Structures are given as structure tokens and as C-alpha cells.
Structure 1
Amino acid sequence: MKGFVLGGVSSGVGKTVATLSIVQALEDAGHEVQPAKAGPDFIDPSHHEAIAGRPSRTLDRWLEGADGLRRNYRRGEGDVCVVEGVMGLYDGDGSSTAMVAEALDLPVVLVVDAKAGMESVAATALGFREYAETIGRDIEVAGVVAQRAHGGRHEQGIRDALPDDMEFFGRIPPNDDLGIPDRHLGLEMGAEAALPRDALREAAESLAAERLADVAREPPAPESPSPSVASAESVDATIAVASDAAFCFRYPATIERFRERAELVTFSPVAGDAVPDADAVYLPGGYPELHAAELESAGTLSELGDLAADGMPVLGECGGLMAMSQSLTTVDGERSEMAGILPADVTMHDRYQALDHVELEATGGTLTAHAGETIRGHEFHYSSAAVDGDASFAFETVRGDGIDGDHDGLTEYESLGTYVHVHPESGAFDRFLERVSTN
């Protein structure tokens, strides 16, 4: 599957809208598009899926390694992959857009805000191309998409200013209907605020879909199979995965790994579903703070707490950790009882408390790692957890903030709650499945 990367000149330049418009343009031209996202985000991919109709692949050098992101890329479907970048093209020491483009050997289409510029758009694009040589990165900036650009003289001025060897792939015209509402953690999810098709199709008319398809190329094959799945036979286990508006942050590859190796069932704690008959429960991240009162009254978390006390393994990431705690207090001061599995009380804040790529070292054997192993992940949360004095942690933080600055992974009974999201390429979910199957 051929592909290209949409890199922004900065955060907030309109990469997501440009990505969705390009997906629409390529689909209208008869292509089957596989969306992908550079970086560890869950929200932008939800918008990709709402328009493309298939899950967006997560491509992160820190989380997966170069070979891992090549493997994850190749699991996609379609004839053209559109990879939305993260922040500005070169921003990020863990996994920048440039690192992803280089690892996959994909060309970069630069998204430039042209609202108040013409020649400056060309100067910006040329600077981004030349900077790659300055820092020794093998990055090909093939051309630009002009965000918030008008037609006529404005568009022509950008075209005329670009060097002959830099393509103008079109523009995204200003349109109030192409705005996505945001909140803490980023934009609203695609299921809540998908962009209207008519507005996307209008933008798509100003894009050179076939020239974008022509610039795409095939990445190199992975050098080796994933070490974590080289001999990953099925395990005798059923995993119950929470899936609703409160628990919506999970990578498609995680669900794929569960289905490949075990039985998977889903349930909704917000709706008050009974916990399914299963060997373990996975609580992904999401927005439990927006549904705290419903979670408290629904009864599912209370049931889950009883099951955990009886020895059922429960793995929670970020929002899952919050739901496993004793209580959750919103920014408005509303306190709700949670599952009571972990000895912590969680409080929401109006500013984020942690945002980084993370590395954890296991101090002992736990659900996702053997003693002494390190796993890589990502943290981004607006909450903090006040833990009891006798709390036990599974990990020391090599990089990142974790729960208390030095540790992450609260453990109680056979359960584990962490602020860190991990990708299956880390091997963490394979160890979880194997640990559960031997209990």
C-alpha cells in the first residue's frame, strides 16, 4: 500500500481538516483510503474513521520502533494511506512526524496556513525542505496543501512562488463548517462531531487528488517479525473490554491482538451492563470524568470492584485507572464513587498534569511486564491521583511523570492501573494475555 505523510508547519495549522478533506478527495476519485496518525493520539483517528469508514493506524516510533510501525502500517487496507502528522513536522524528540516519514520512507506533503500569505507560503515550504538536510534527516517535502486559502489571485500567487520541483497539491478554502469543537485532551471525538460530508466534498474539489495519489510510494518491508508475536499462539482466555463514551481510547491494533490470541467481548459501564463472563477485564482510557455520575449510579464499576477483590485481573489505562480508583472528583468539585479497586482518589484539573512519551521499568512481575523489563508508552491526562500511604507500584518511571513523578502502575489484588497508554508492539498486551491464561 502506497502512502504519504501530511506534515504541518506547527500545531493548530489545520492538519486534521486537511487530512479529512484529502481522504474525501481520494475516495471521490475512486481510491480506497487507509487513514493513519503519526503519534499516540486517539482523537484525530476517530475523525479519520468517521470519514474513511475504517480504523486509523497508529504510527509512533517511540511506542513501536521503526520495524513495529512498518508492521502496523502493513496491516492497513486500501490502495493509498494518508498519514496525518503530529504537531509541526520536526517537533517531538520521541516520535516526530519527520521520524515517522523517514522510517517509512514516505514523502511529506506540507500543510501551510495561507490565510495571510502567498510568497511566504513558498518560503516556509522551502525552509522546511532545506532544514531536513541541515539536521541530516532523509525527508522529501514533495509539495504543499494551502490551508485557509482562497482561489483566484491568492491561489495563483502561491503556485507562482513555489519552486518548480515543489508541487502545489491544492487548497482548503476557508469554511466555518470545517471546524471541529474541542475540549480537554483535544478535539471532540469523531462519533460526536464528524465534519459534514458536503463541506468536505466542497474542500475536496480544490485538491489535486490524483497528483496526491501519484506522489505516494510503498514503504520498505519490516526487517523482522514482532518479537512479542513470533510464536504468539492462541491462549485459553476471554477478555472483556469496556467500550462506550467513557472508555473510547484504545488502539485498533490492541483490539486486533486480543482477537488474534483470545476471545473478546465488550460491555458498557456507562449503560450499566453486567460485567461479562470473562477471565480478565481491560478498561481503556477515555472520558470517565464526563460520565462520573452515570458510572457511579450504573452499578457496573461496583460489580467490577467485587470481581477484582475475588481475584479477577483488571487492567486499566489512564481513564481506566481513574475508574478503578476509590473516587473521582471533577473540576466542579462533584465527587463520585468509582470501582474502589485501587487505593487512590482522583481529581480533575483545568490544566493537563502530564504529557510525554514514557518509559517504565517493572520492579516486579506484573500484568504487562516481567520483573526488570521496560515498556514504552504515552501519557496525557488532566487528572492527578492521591494514593494511600501503603500503595504498591509496579513500575519506576525512567521517563515521564507517571502517578507520583517516580512511579506508575498501582497494583491491588491481581489488578493493575496505570496512567500510561501502551501499544501492542511493546509486548505488554501479549504478557497480559499470557499472565491471564495461566491464572
Structure 2
Amino acid sequence: MKGFVLGGVSSGVGKTVATLAIVRALEDAGYDVQPAKAGPDFIDPSHHEAVAGRPSRTLDLWLCGEDGLRRNYHRGEGDVCVVEGVMGLYDGDGSSTAMVAEALGLPVVLVVDAKAGMESVAATALGFREYADAIGRDVEVAGIVAQRAHGGRHEQGIRDALPEDLAYFGRIPPNPDLEIPDRHLGLHMGEEAELPTAALREAAETLAAEQLAAVAREAAPPSTAAEPGPASGRTTGRVAVASDSAFCFRYPATIERLRERAEVVSFSPVAGDPVPDCDGVYLPGGYPELHAAELEAAGTLSALGERASDGLPVLGECGGLMAMSQSLTTADGDRHEMAAIVPADVTMHDRYQALDHVELEATCDGLTADAGERLRGHEFHYSRADVDGDARFAFETVRGDGIDGDHDGLLEYESVGTYVHVHAESGAFDRFLDRVAR
């Protein structure tokens, strides 16, 4: 599958809107588009899926490794893959957009804010292209998309200023309807704030779809097709996955891996669904703080707490950890009872409490790793967990904050709750499946 990477000159330049407009332009031109996201984000991919109609692939070198990143890319389907970058093109020591583009061998289309510039837009693009050579990165900046650019003289001035070997792929016109509302953790999810179809189509019409398709290139293949993990065969396990507006941060590859190796059933704690008959439960991240009153009233979490105390393994990540706690206090100061599986009380804060790529080392054999093994993941949360004095942890933090700055993975019964999101390429979910299927 051919593809290209959409890099930005900075965060906030409008990469997500440009990505959605490009996906729409390519599909209107008859191409079958596979969206993808460089970095560990869950929110931008939800917007990709709303427009493209298929899950967006997660491409992060820190989470997946180079081979895992390439495997995940090649699991996509379609004619053209559009990879939205993270932050600015060269930003990030664990997995920058430039690093992802280099690992895949894909060209970069640069999104430049043209709101108040013409020649300066070209100078910026030229600088980004030359910087790759200066730092020894094999990254090709093929051309630009001018974000917030008007037509007429403004657009022509940008075209004329670009050197011949930097292509002009079109513009995204300034339009208040092309703004996605945000909140803590980032933008609203795609199903909550879809861009108006008419505005997106208008933006798509100002892009050179055929020229964008022509710049796409075949991505580098993995050196091996093998997946990581202690076992690769199908298990006899049945895994219940929480899935609703409170538990919506799931990598497509994670659900794929679970379905490949076990029977998967979904349930909604917000709706009060009963805990399914299963061998293990996965509580992904999301927004339990926005549904704390509903979760408390529904009764599913309290029932899950009882099942966990009887030995049902529960794996919770970030929002899942919050739901596994004894209580959750919202930013408004309202306290709500949660599942009471792990000995912690969680409080929301106005500022984020952690944001980084993370590495953990297991201190004992557990649900997702054996003693001494290391897991790489990502953390981004506005809550803080205050743990009881006798709390036990599954991991020490090698990089990142974890739960208390030094540890992550609260242990209780056969369950573990962590602030860290991990990808299926880490092997963590294979460990989980092997343990719950015993």
C-alpha cells in the first residue's frame, strides 16, 4: 500500500483538519484511503474513522518498534495511506513524525500555516526540507498544503515563492466550520464532533487529489511478519472489553490481537450492562470522569468489583485504572464510588499530571509481563491517584511518572490497573490472554 506522511510545522497548525480534507479529496477522486496516525493518540484517529469509514492505524516507534510499526502499517487496507503526524515534524525524542516517515520510507507533505504569509510560507517549507539533511535524517519533504490560505493573489503568491522541487498540493481555506472543539486530553472524539460535510467537501475541492496520490510511495516492509509474545496460537479464553463513551481509547491493533487469539465480547458500564460471562476483563482508557455519576448509578462497576474479588482478572489502562479505584472525584469536587478493585482514590485536576512515552520494568510475574521484562507505553492524564500505604505495584518506572512517580500497575486479587497505555506489539496483551485462558 502506497502512502505519505502529513507533517506539521508545529502543534496546532491544523494537521487533523488537513488530514480529513485530504482523505475526503482522495475518496472523492475514487481512491480507497487508509488513515493512520503517527504517535500514540486515540482522539485524532476517531476523526479519521468518521470520515474514512475504517479504523486508523497507530504508528509509533516507541510503542511498536520499527518492525512492529511496519507490520501495523501493512495491516491496513486501501490504495493510499494518509499518515497524520504528531506535533511538529521533528518534535519528539521517542517517535517523531520524521522518525516514522523515515522508518516507513514515505515522503512528507508539510502543513504550513499560511494565514499571514506568502514568501515566508515557502521559506518555512524550505527550512524544514533542509533541516533533515542537517540532522542526518533520511526524510523527503515533497511539498506543502497551505493551511488557512485564501485563494487568488494569496494562493498565487505562495505558489510563486516555492522552489521548483517543492510541490504545492493545495490549500485549506479559512472556515470556522473547520474547527474541532477541544477539552482536556485534546479534541472531542470523532463521533461527538464530526466536521460538517459541506465544509469538508469545500476544503477537499481546493486540494490536488491526483497530485497527492501520485506522490505516495510503497512503504518499507517489516523484516519479519512474526508477532511478539509468548504464544501466537488461539486460546480458549473469553475476554470482555468495556466499550462506550467512558471507555473509548482502544488501539485497533489491540482489539485485533484479542480477537485473533480469543473470543471477545463488549459491554457498556455506562449503560449498566451486566459483566459478561468471561475469563478476563479489559477496561480501556477514555473519559470515566465525564460519566462518573452514571457509572456509579449503573451498578456495573460495583458488580465488577465483586467479580474481581472472587478472582476474575481485570486489566485497566488509565481511565480503566480510574474505574477500578475506590472513588473518583471530578474537577467540580463531586465524589463518586467506583469498582473498588485497587486501593486508590482518584482526583481530577485542571492541568495534566503526566504526558510522556513510558518504560516500565516488571517487579513480579503479572497479567501483562513477567518479572524483569520491560514494557513501553504512553501516559497522558489529568487525574492523580492517591494510593493506600499497603498498595502493591507490578512495575517500577524506568521512564515516565506512572502512578506515584516511581511505580505503576496497582495489584489486587488477580487484577492490575495502570496509567500506561500499551500497544499490542509490546506483547502485553498476549501475556494477558495466556494468563486468563489458564
Same fold by TM-score greater than 0.5: yes
- 2:25 corresponding residue in structure 1: 25
* Alignment match, 1:131: 131
Q: Deviations over 1:318-364 (max 9, x none)?
A: 00000000000011100000000000000000000000000000000
RMSD: 0.7
Aligned-partner Cα distance in 1 for 2:226–2:9: 33
Q: 8 Å contact 1:240–1:267 — kept in the other structure?
A: yes
Structure 2 contact 230–427 (Cα < 8 Å) conserved = no
Question: For residue 291 of structure 2, what is the amino acid of its counterpart?
Answer: H
Report the Cα offset of residue 75 of structure 1. Answer: 0.4
Deviation for aligned residue 1:196: 1.2
5+ long unaligned stretches in structure 2:
none
Alignment correspondent of 2:196: 196
What's the counterpart of residue 241 of structure 1? 241
Are 2:106 and 1:102 aligned? Answer: no
User: Does residue 296 of structure 2 align to residue 289 of structure 1?
Assistant: no
Question: Alpha-carbon deviation of 1:220?
Answer: 1.4
User: How many angstroms apart in 1 are the aligned matches of 2:402 and 2:231?
Assistant: 31
Matches within 5 A, 1:369-384: 369-384=369-384
Matches within 5 A, 1:142-181: 142-181=142-181
Distance 1:398 1:423 in 2: 18
- 1:334 and 2:364 aligned: no
> 2:226, 2:153 → 1: CA distance?
52
Q: What CA distance in whole angstroms lies between the structure 2 residues aligned with 1:231 and 1:354?
A: 33
Task: Give the match's secondary structure for 1:193.
Answer: coil
1:230, CA displacement in angstroms?
A: 8.5
Amino acid across the alignment from 1:226: A
Would you say 1:312 and 2:317 are equivalent positions? no
**2:38 equivalent to 1:38:** yes
Is 1:262 matched with 2:262?
yes
Structure 1 stretches of 4+ moved >2 Å: none
Query: 1:143-165 deviations in whole A, cap 9, x for unaligned?
Result: 00000000000000000000001
CA contact (8 A) 1:68 1:226 kept: no
**1:225 paired to 2:225:** yes
Q: Which amino acid aligns with 2:159?
A: R
Asked if 2 retains the 8 angstrom alpha-carbon contact of 1:352 and 1:381, the reply is yes
Q: For residue 226 of structure 2, what is the amino acid of its counterpart?
A: S
Provide the C-alpha distance between the structure 1 equivalents of 2:334 and 2:69, rounded to a whole number of angstroms. Answer: 41
Which consecutive residues of structure 1, in runs of 5 or more, have no partner in the other structure?
none
Other structure's SS at 1:20 match: helix
For normalisation by structure 2, the TM-score amounts to 0.99
Partner residue in 2 for 1:4 = 4
Aligned residues: 438
Q: 2: CA distance between counterparts of 1:50 and 1:230?
A: 35
Matched letter for residue 323 of structure 1 = A
Please state how far the C-alpha of 1:133 moved relative to its aligned partner: 0.3
Identity %: 82
| Counterpart code for 2:319 | G
**CA distance in structure 2 between the partners assigned to 1:238 and 1:147 by the alignment:** 47
Residue equivalent to 2:388: 388
Matched, 1:363 2:367: no
Query: Could you tell me how far apart the structure 2 residues matched to 1:313 and 1:88 are?
Result: 40
Q: Say if 1:226 and 1:425, in contact at 8 Å, map to a contact too.
A: no
* Matching residue of 1:140: 140
**Alignment deviations for residues 347-385 of structure 1 (CA, whole Å, 9 cap, x no partner):** 000000000000000000010001100000000000000
Query: How far is the alpha carbon of 1:221 from its aligned partner?
Result: 1.0
